[in-house]
Amino acid sequence: MSSLQPNVDSTNSETMQRSNPKKRRKIGHSNSLSLVPWRSETQQRIYSSKLAEALRYVIHRNPPSLPAKSSAGREVRETADRVLAATAKGRTRWSRAILASPLNRWKLRRMHKKVHKASTGLPKKSPETRRRLPVVQKKARVLGRLVPGCRKLTFPNLLEEATDYISALEMQVRAMTALTELLTGGGSLASA
Amino acid sequence: MSSRRSRQQSGSNRISDDQIIELVSKLRQLVPEIRDRRSDKVSASKVLQETCNYIRNLHREVDDLSERLSQLLATIDADSAEAAIIRSLINQ
């Protein structure tokens, strides 16, 4: 049951020793990384079983009747994200970022949203400087905000992380859909 | 403008246009919106825009699925849930 926690600790200590935040990763190194094959069925099965175990741990920890129903969905989402990041084996930046932030990521997101709204009251830059930002750079910045832990990456690294992140998310959706159908079917069978 | 910068800098920070094109094409293959449209000339900003939209959609789907899962886990008791999961793992 507690198998999830030691995994998190080991990947954290590993990445702390290996990663040097000052050096930028050259793009030549990307070919040597053996990224996780998110499309394979084996990978999905691995993720599903880990997720099921993690969710069982979460249920047994909290009593079945949760006082705030809105937090239950968020807990499930966070558990799913953490298990996804753990399945990535810490080779990608977004997975390390998810595992490294035990704080509630949603609260941080709300704080960022408030800060953003406050800044619109300030005087904006002159139209000349605004036109210098190419559209692509703006879009790249938005993308960097969407992928966890990728705000200050160079453009090619950001694209690399984004491709892996998208494949991982697709697998997450497939696995959770299958799990949902399973539980829906299993519940009705048990009651009959 | 970014290509001008990369040409001036030498050494490890040089990002060749070919590498960027390759990565953008890889991204294009993943995002179904662009992949299914079958047009060879899609601008980079369009690719980035569709990628952001796609990631947001996936996030929303995961959120919805988490909500449904949490409700299901609350209503059915733990034993039948475990039985269903174990049964599926054995059948696979």
Mean pLDDT by 10 residues, chain B (92 residues): 48 67 81 72 80 91 88 72 70 64
Domains and CATH numbers, chain B: 2-90 (4.10.280)
Q: Is the pLDDT of residue A102 over 70?
A: no
Q: What is the pLDDT of residue B56?
A: 93
Instruction: For residue A142, give the nearest of B15, B52, B73 by CB distance.
Output: B52
The predicted structure's pLDDT at residue B58:
92
Cα(A137)–Cα(A149) distance, rounded to whole angstroms? 18
Residue in the structure block whose two tokens are 């966890």: A148
pLDDT value of residue A106 = 58
Mean pLDDT within A15-43: 57
Question: Which pLDDT value is given to residue A4?
Answer: 46
The C-alpha torsion from A140 through A143 and A145 to A146, rounded to 10°, is 180
Question: Is the pLDDT assigned to residue A26 strictly greater than 60?
Answer: no
Q: Is the pLDDT of residue A36 over 50?
A: yes
Q: What is the ipTM of this complex?
A: 0.72
Residue A42: how many CB atoms within 10 A of its CB? 8
Contact with chain B for residue A8, Cβ under 8 A: no
Amino acid present at A177? T
Between the alpha carbon of residue B32 and those of residues A82, A166, A169, B44, B50, the distances in Å are 26, 11, 14, 16, 9
| CA–CA min distance B10, chain A (Å) | 13
Q: Which residue has the higher pLDDT, A77 or A121?
A: A77
With a CB cutoff of 8 Å and minimum separation 6, the contacts of B38 are none
Q: Do B74 and A156 touch (CB under 8 A)?
A: no
Q: Is the pTM of this model over 0.90?
A: no
Cβ-nearest to B85 among A72, A182, A184: A182
Please check the confidence at residue A18 and state whether its pLDDT lies above 50: no
Query: DSSP letter at A150?
Result: -
Q: Give the single-character DSSP code of A154.
A: -
**Residue A73 exposure: Cα atoms within 13 Å on the Cβ side:** 13
Residue A42 has pLDDT above 60, yes or no: yes
Chain A from 150 to 179: CB within 8 A of any B CB = 154-156, 159-160, 162-163, 165-167, 169-170, 172-173, 176-177, 179
- Side-chain-side CA neighbours of A91 within 13 Å: the count stands at 15
